[in-house]
Amino acid sequence: MRVLITAGPTYEPLDPVRFLGNRSTGKMGYALAEAFAAEGARVTLVSGPSQLPNPAISLIETVRVETAAEMFAAASMVAAEADVWVFAAAVADYRPAQVAAEKIKKSGETLTLELVKNVDIAATLGQQKRAEQFAVGFALETTNELAHAQDKLRRKNFDLVVLNSLRDAGAGFGHDTNKVTVLDARGQVVNFELQSKADVARGLVSLILARRAVTS
């Protein structure tokens, strides 16, 4: 089995010094890569900027990228051959329309930036997904969590969506623990109580493999 996983943030440069980014560390995606490898899968881990070392497992190939465009290009290279896609990265929705060649100097009381939309990696690849491929997305929400997650499930052609809420203590960015809710198109819900991200990853991989076996 071949698995594509995206992980970590993307950084969208403003100038040679600054960027737009987010607080994702990549821990969940890296844990998923190791959990899939433990099941014998060959994993391509497309990682945005992260302080985590590349997993020292021969079954995992780590591809380092920085921007959303670079992540999309790297994921597109292997998506067609992968049996399972897991979009765990926190990809920037927008990027600066112009990247300054030199450091932007302070002048005036305000600075206005024009942002343009990045490619939606999961949605774009989801349009190309074959019936035998299995796609899993992540949704980190702060309000109307279930409604937003169900909308992502439909729009991006996911088989499962993993919902994180920043209102849950110990879940989300920067933690070694996580608490998630998994939804599918039939309305079935599986809850994972707060536990280590490694344990969550093992549970998610078991669930994905079981659901994939039923649908294949």
8-19 confidence digits (pLDDT tens):
999 999 999 999
pLDDT at 129: 97
User: Could you give the CA distance from residue 212 to residue 210 in angstroms, rounded to a whole number?
Assistant: 5
CA dihedral 50, 57, 135, 52 (to 10 degrees): -10
133-187 confidence digits (pLDDT tens):
999 999 988 788 888 999 999 999 999 999 987 777 777 777 889 999 999 988 8
Give the domain ranges of the chain: 2-215
Quote the pTM value: 0.95
Pick the catalytic residue: 22, 54, 157, 164?
22
Q: What is the mean pLDDT of the chain?
A: 94
User: Could you give the CA distance from residue 209 to residue 205 in angstroms, rounded to a whole number?
Assistant: 6
In CATH, the number for domain 2-215 is: 3.40.50.10300
79-116 confidence digits (pLDDT tens):
999 999 999 999 999 999 999 999 999 988 999 999 99
Q: Is 54 a catalytic residue?
A: no
Distance of CA 19 to the CA centre of its chain: 19
**Of 4, 8, 25, 37, which Cα lies nearest the Cα of 201?**
37
Q: Is the pLDDT of residue 216 over 70?
A: no
